[in-house]
Amino acid sequence: MRGVTRSVISDTPPIGRAERRARTRAAILTAARTVFGDCGYQGTTIRAIASRAGVDPALVMQHFGSKEALFVSAAEIELGIDDALPGPIDDLGERLLGTLLERLESAPEATVSMLRSMLTHDQAAEAVRAAMIDKGASPLADIIIGDDAEVKSGLVASMIIGLIITRYLLKIPAVAEVPAERLTHLFGPCLQKLITPAGPGTAPGNHETRPESDRQQGSRINERGAR
């Protein structure tokens, strides 16, 4: 028999075509995120994704056009740095880690997928670079006081990347098996050392970080950064 329309997606009988289409697309995307996350871009095959989604490989192409396009749709990197910025600057280090880990502990797949692919796939590298600069280093550079704000914010981003890789990809036991709270408590001061070098409470005015609307958009680093 050919053209069996019933795919894995359909379990509840009364679905419209559009609904069915949407569910299939979502199933492919979910499968893609998992497989890309496990195998990286080059190690992932359309067939593997299709198989996991319970669908024909050709259907994947029909939905997304190409492996490349599917990857772009599936991958996203969201570290939640924006959410952590508002608040006292003296706690920013720990707050960054807290937000980041909270987000990753539950669903690291999309981020891990991107990180796993970034080293061997240009487009993924570009996405990570953009995410690091636009969503990470750049807003931070606006907050950090004093010289070398750009470099320091870049270093904070590098520490975050290193942590994610060590904990979620390489799974070095000493880092992977520690509760998130403990990690936040231990590592936060190191980030803080870059944000307020002289120590908490010594930043000029011990000020709170300005709300997003106050800060200028498109910061210094951004302008030099990814195309």
Partner DNA sequence: GCACATACTCAACACTTGTAGACTCAATGA
Partner DNA sequence: TCATTGAGTCTACAAGTGTTGAGTATGTGC
Indicate which single residue of 23, 25, 52, 129 sits in contact with its own copies (rule: CB under 8 A).
129
Closest CB to DNA among 59 and 165?
Answer: 59
Interacting residue with its own copies among 7, 20, 25, 39 (CB under 8 A): 39
Region of 64-72, 132-140, 170-178, 215-223 interacting with DNA (CB under 7 A): 64-72
> What is the C-alpha separation between 202 and 193, in angstroms, rounded?
11
Bridge partner residues of 88 (DSSP): 208
Residue whose tokens read 């990857």: 71
Q: Print the binding letters for residues 43-82 with its own copies: x by CB under 8 A, - otherwise.
A: x---------------------------------------
Nearer to DNA, 50 or 149 (CB): 50
24 binds, among its own copies, DNA, none (CB under 5 to 8 A by kind): DNA
Q: What mask of x and - would describe binding to its own copies in positions 88 to 117, judged by CB under 8 A? A: ---------------------------xxx
Contact 149, 155 (CB under 8 A): no
What's the token pair of residue 29?
Answer: 């995307």
**DSSP codes joined into one string, 38-97:** HHHHHH--HHHHHHHHTS-HHHHHHHHSSHHHHHHHH------HHHHSSSBGGGHHHHHH
- Closer residue to DNA (CB): 40 or 139: 40
By the criterion CB under 8 A, which residues form the site for its own copies? 39-40, 42-43, 115-120, 125, 128-129, 132-133, 137, 141, 148, 150-155, 157-163, 165-167, 169-175, 178, 182-183, 186-187, 189-191, 193-194, 197, 221, 224-225
